Amino acid sequence: MSNVFAFGVGLANTNASGEVLDCLFPQPLLNPNAELADALAKFSAGTSTVDPVEVAAANAACNGQLVPAALLEADKPLTVVNLAADQEIADTAQAYLKLHLLSHRLTLPNTLNLDGIFAYLPNLAWTNVGPIEPAALTDTLITARARGEHIEVMSIDKFPKMVNYVMPTGVRIADASRIRLGAYLGEGTTVMHEGFCNFNAGAIGPNMVEGRISQGVIIDAGTDLGGSASTQGTLSGGGEIVLSLGKNCLVGANAGTGIPLGDRCTIEAGLYITAGTVVTVVDEDGKEVRKVKARELAGGSDMLFIRNSVTGQVVCRSNRKAIALNEALHAHN
């Protein structure tokens, strides 16, 4: 029996030297069943280029589970990635396959081995005619202008926007440039114009996202990030704590958190909680119980964080009232 962890047939853009710039995997597979894995054994391990005719034969034998029919119309070799295990990333195509697995909702953030990903994601100019290497951009722009054409450059980055590769069902995205490939957006998620979701991060859905979901951060169902709210990612913070927000939380406008929260937690607008923030814990009558650093409250549920407007103290009290999201607002059929 063949062992296949992840598999994808993709269409790559390459430079003049044949180096892969990016790769589209419209129908990736994760942990295929034994029968399908055996059928994939004909493809070499790792990354290879394959004639579309060969892929078409395998696709027919697998009842169309490998690729959509439109991909087989390509007049260029296809890129095949066949991974037996969740190994460290070894090339650009493998990096793109793993990002697709996340955005196709086949796996959750923080569950894939993404070691080596930055080394294999080239920094590119993302344009309306596809990715262009920055060194070639000026000549390409001049050539286009000479033909009376215009090339729009959207960004220069290692990560493209997700919707140019994956369009998950049941979501609303007000500004597609703010959702990177490798983001996980669950059914019913709304990302407003100032919302952002990094790679290897996401919203389980339904969620209202008007703030920033940083790398490695997951927010659970019913949680709302207010306008310009922020979550501290593992890259920006430099630590190893995986930040998550549980169900039915609210992080108010211009607020943020650097500690994980359980369910039904609220941080008032404008208040940023870091691990070292000194918090006064009070009981239901408002009487002080103790003072702690916020890291000691990490992962707790039913907490309301507010700031005393007179003393400036950060206060935490019990919050038994869940944040209810508008169901009609998150039905994106």
Catalytic (active-site) positions: 210
Residue 215 CA from chain centroid, whole number: 8
d(CA 116, CA 109): 16
Burial (CB count <10 Å: 0-12, 13-18, 19+), residue 64: exposed
Q: Are 276 and 295 in contact (CB under 8 A)?
A: yes
H or E stretch at 159: none
Q: Is 101 helix (H, G, I), strand (E, B) or coil?
A: helix
Question: What is the token pair recorded at 139?
Answer: 């000549």
Question: What is the token pair recorded at 50?
Answer: 């394959």
- Find residue 245's DSSP bridge partners: 219, 261
Residue 301 CA from chain centroid, whole number: 25
